[in-house]
Amino acid sequence: MKQFKLTIIIPAYNEINTIQNLIDKIYQINIDKQIILVDDCSTDGTSEVVFENKDKINKIIVHEENKGKGAAIRSAQSYIEGEYVIIQDADLEYDPNDIINLLNEIENKKCQVVYGSRVLRNPENKKSQNFSHNIRIIGNIFLTKLSNYLNNQNLTDAHTCYKLFESELFKSILLQENGFSFCPEITTKISLLNINILEIPINYHGRSYQQGKKIVATDGLEAIWTLIKYRYF
At residue 218 the predicted structure's pLDDT band, cuts being 50, 70 and 90, is confident
pLDDT at residue 19 is higher than 80: yes
Asked if 155 contacts 199 with a C-beta cutoff of 8 angstroms, the reply is: yes
Strand (E) or helix (H) holding 30: none
Mapping DSSP to helix (H, G, I), strand (E, B) and coil, where does residue 198 land?
strand
Q: How many CB atoms lie within 10 A of CB 218?
A: 10
Phi, psi of 26 (to 5 degrees): -65, -45
The pLDDT of residue 118 is 94
With both helix axes pointing from N to C terminus, report the angle between 69-77 and 182-191 in degrees, rounded to the nearest 10.
50
**Residues sharing a CB contact under 8 Å with residue 217, sequence separation 6 or more, in sequence order:** 139
Tell me the C-alpha distance between 24 and 27, whole Å: 5
Average of per-residue pLDDT across 32-46 = 98
Rounded CA-CA distance 142/95 in Å is: 24
Under DSSP, the state recorded for 112 is S
H helix or E strand, kind and range, residue 223: helix 217-232
The pLDDT value given to residue 208: 57
What three-state secondary structure class fits 82?
Answer: strand
**Section 84-96 average pLDDT:** 97
The neighbouring-strand residues paired with 201 are: 117
Whole-angstrom Cα distance, residue 101 to residue 208? 27
User: What pLDDT does residue 138 have?
Assistant: 86
Count how many Cα atoms sit within 13 Å of the Cα of residue 115 in the half-sphere of its side chain: 24
**What is the phi-psi region of residue 68: left when phi exceeds 0, alpha when psi lies from -120 to 50, beta otherwise?**
left
Return the sign of the alpha-carbon dihedral for residues 186, 33, 100, 84: positive
Q: Where are the beta strands (DSSP E) in the chain?
A: 4-12, 33-39, 59-62, 82-87, 113-117, 163-166, 198-201
Percent of the chain with pLDDT over 70: 89
pLDDT of 169-202, one tens digit each? 999 999 999 999 999 999 999 999 999 999 999 9
User: For the segment 109-168, what is each residue's pLDDT rounded down to a tens digit?
Assistant: 999 999 999 999 866 555 555 555 567 678 899 999 999 999 999 999 999 999 999 999
